[in-house]
Structure 1
């Protein structure tokens, strides 16, 4: 398989790698699942879709599937709009916020307060550089009220930044002619995420997986064994480079020294979450141990 040279040294990718675990704890913490049940959401996936989409309001399945990009529309439709009949977006967001606060209190290392306070300042400065055009999730999460405690300020800012990067990744994938499942298959083919980590939790049927593979083979992106061709590896490199480029404006707001300081502060905290099992690696996001 041709090598996909991922620009690991780019500042945008280094910042994402350093900060993503501080956001992604929300998907694995038992507090999050318990909070969703407490407000009446009957399934984990309903809690996921409602929780991540809550700042958008009582949105339906079609726009959420479009924004989240990697999930089967049929899977999203099993959770939305029904979730809003159990709990309002405001109630879901409040419950999710309190759950994350409890999870961070449980999982972050003791004595991290000073690092968290400074990291919050830096990430919030980065958020001021986010552009919202074509980025609905970023715009929605950026309007969530800022918490007062440092750990939650870090989490919210990390969330806005990762949705900004994610919205940009969707824009880059669409520009490359890749649908949500196509993007997932090419990511799997890079070795960046195991097939087993995504195949069972994105909701696509086996026929849909096969249709996507066939399309990518016909385009010359994958070979008959599901591996990237030379052209496919080049396409994936461009996708990653475009994602980094589209994630650059928050870094410009922070400045090169601020970016490096944020990375230095975030890496030990994120490594602690990975090393203590709060965030599994590998994971469906493809987030590595920093």
Structure 2
């Protein structure tokens, strides 16, 4: 079978789960993993016949995709901000909106000239946030915290693979405190309400860790409140708090931060026009 023909088979067989462009992305990621070809080269070689072994491997991936399993779990890797991160069922698959948050932090911090710059990420997951921040802000000292030992193990492996020095802390932010003062605290905590599950893709519901996804309908900002309290105590003067947020709770998150003492707050939309990230500055009013 030719590459272009298999692309169309992916699109047809996955039509119950993904639209045409999403299915095409699935094929591109599978083909990049199996054939070591970029999407551009795939298009250029659409008329090339596949070797039998490659064809069989891509068919096996297609069968797993039809069950709803994420392509990143099949390849064991996810692309994030120009790097490739190991992922598995113990960590969230990095999302494009998180790339936007990281880009905001890198650009903002790049404007600040200071020594002994300290960054804390809360909710390590795959390590995509802290490792990327360390890579692009190499003079910073980056720490990251997660309650899951399994997630930290994945992130440590990614940090070692990318040769980035990150300090890992296994702890629960609902109870964690330390004496370190930080210039930046960043978090992409669990924020999806249980009532939103009905609108979610089954590959997320079945295959990604619920611990990193869901909060109760009654107190959806539980982690944001705890992190805001921690950050207000632990940030230096003019320190910055960054959150990725629930698109439906932007105003509620903003008002919560005001109530916690943050008086300079920016709510920003992602590329899809959704309220998705917030920056709050700890500044004295006196």
Q: Please report the TM-score for the alignment, with normalisation by the length of structure 2.
A: 0.31
Which structure has greater strand proportion?
2
Q: Please report the TM-score for the alignment, with normalisation by the length of structure 1.
A: 0.31
Say which one has the larger Rg: 2
Higher relative contact order (CA 8 A, sep 6+): 1
